Amino acid sequence: MEYREGNLGALDFYAALKMEKKPVELVFYRGAPHIFTQPQQRFHAMHRNLDWFNFWLRGVEDPAPEKREQYVRWRDMRDSRKRIRR
């Protein structure tokens, strides 16, 4: 989930998903309007979305060292979902 800073409704939605033990992450973009207009915000959002789709839908991970932590979190989320289903 990606939101502009100060969107309190995002916290409610995030908390509800966490209570249901759904894999979820929440990212706030500081100083961003509803539609990201700053190139740096767009860059990070687009890369994060591409990584998400590749990981969750295609099973592909970007080998870049700076993304290692993100994939550790996502693998943990994926594995915890498998444990819950059993």
The per-residue pLDDT for range 9-68, each reduced to its tens digit, is 888 999 999 898 888 898 888 877 777 788 888 898 899 999 999 999 999 999 999 999
Q: What is the pLDDT of residue 86?
A: 54
Stated pTM of the model? 0.76
Cα–Cα dist 56/59, whole Å = 6
Q: What is the pLDDT of residue 53?
A: 95
Q: What is the pLDDT of residue 4?
A: 81
Q: Which residues lie closer than 8 Å to 21 by C-beta, 6 or more apart?
A: 80, 84
Total domain count for the chain? 1
Q: 72: domain range?
A: 2-85
